[in-house]
Amino acid sequence: MNINKEVYVIGVYPPPYGGATVKCELFCKMLKNVGIIANRIDIYEASRNKTKIIGILKMCIKAYKSNNPVVYCLDSKRLRVMVFLQRMFKKSFANTTILVIGGIFHETVAEHPAFEKCMKSVNGVWVETEGMKENLLKSGFENVEIFPNPKSQIGNCYPQNAQKNKELKLVYFSQISREKGVEEIIKLVGLLNNKTEISYKLDFYGHIVPEVKDEFDKFINNSLNVNYCGIFDSTKSSVYKKLNEYDILLFPTRWKGEGVPGILVEAKMAGVAVIASPMNFNKEIVCENMNEGFILEKEYPQEMLNIIERCYKDRDLLDRMKMGSYQSRKRYALEEYEDMIEKL
């Protein structure tokens, strides 16, 4: 154990809501688990309080000048800004690791040659999917590794059997926004309500973005089988245990930046079947041929309805998907990546 080892983690920390903040928080906990001290530098603090910009820059320069590893956990836009600052301390690139957020990093470096050159000189670029790694290798990168947004297996939940003729329990567990597919689910509910033979309930968890709040509130108020359950506090309750109460997770995202969405990993740990859109690398995460869930094609609401109807009528199919999802959790088990962390 590296008891006296320190790592500077330059990222964004809660609030706000989002995958980047969760990933930063989890990564710092991983460092602690293997005996490494995480010195956090919160770039988002500069947005909350402009007077702290100089102080944050000084902390970053201190990190670059140290002999300790530097880890970035930032979206591509903020990462480019920080890396160009770091070019004044080029020797520090040898100690720098990029914890890539989302699924379009390979496109970003292709569009910015100077940034790409910097990324090729850092110690490591940790991407979330095999597809991203392949794209970077084709561009001449030699420092790429897979770090697929893993989650701890501690507290994972064996799938609950789907009981015949009981209502299907559906859940949406992401930011409530157009990009994440909330409009597709609103349309789905309209289709479901016309199928009177399908008994279901649908719960929403997540932060509601302002641009859809009025529309979403109206939808909730007018829907008998649908509930908004607020923002789930994972510091007080187990996400896995809560998700385990449901049969199917709905994830019809249209966000072009998806990498490995944390909720898809959490669904595996919770033994829940998944219906997901084909955005970016979702087909790699939810493998239909391994019975891990269902991937949509184009007509999301109608396709979701068709899948839900199949699962409602065929509970053995639903049980197979729930078990397949659960068995695939090991690919994303945090414990499998502790050696990578220690090698920092």
pLDDT at 59 over 80: yes
Query: What digits encode the pLDDT tens for the residues 85-107?
Result: 999 999 999 999 999 998 899 99
Residues 153, 335: contact at Cβ < 8 Å?
yes
Average pLDDT over residues 309-325: 96
Q: Would you state the pLDDT for residue 2?
A: 47
**Residue 96 CA from chain centroid, whole number:** 23
**Residue 134 CA from chain centroid, whole number:** 20
316: buried, middle or exposed (CB in 10 Å: 19+, 13-18, 0-12)?
Answer: exposed
Taking each helix axis as running N to C, give the angle between helix 113-121 and helix 76-86, from 0 to 180 degrees, rounded to the nearest 10: 70
Q: What is the pTM of this model?
A: 0.89
pLDDT at 3 over 70: no
Q: Would you state the pLDDT for residue 17?
A: 61
DSSP states of 108-159 as a string? Answer: HHHH-HHHHHHHHHSSEEEES-HHHHHHHHHTT---EEE----B--TT--PP
Beta bridge partners of 274: 249
Query: What digits encode the pLDDT tens for the residues 258-311?
Result: 899 999 999 999 999 999 999 999 999 999 989 999 999 999 999 999 999 999
Q: Would you state the pLDDT for residue 219?
A: 97
Q: Would you state the pLDDT for residue 162?
A: 85
Averaged pLDDT score across all residues of the chain: 93
Q: Would you state the pLDDT for residue 39?
A: 95
201 pLDDT band (50/70/90 cuts)? very high
135 pLDDT band (50/70/90 cuts)? very high
Average pLDDT over residues 64-74: 94
Write down how long the chain is: 344
Q: Would you state the pLDDT for residue 16?
A: 54
Q: Would you state the pLDDT for residue 4?
A: 56
pLDDT over 90, % of the chain = 77
Q: Rounded to whole angstroms, how far apart are CA atoms 278 and 185? A: 16
Beta bridge partners of 38: 7
Q: Rounded to whole angstroms, how far apart are CA atoms 124 and 284? A: 22
Q: Kindly report the CA angle at 192 between 189 and 194, in degrees rounded to 5?
A: 120
pLDDT at 1 over 50: no
pLDDT at 129 over 70: yes
- Higher per-residue confidence, 98 vs 343: 98
Nearest to residue 149, comparing CAs of 100, 76, 109? 100
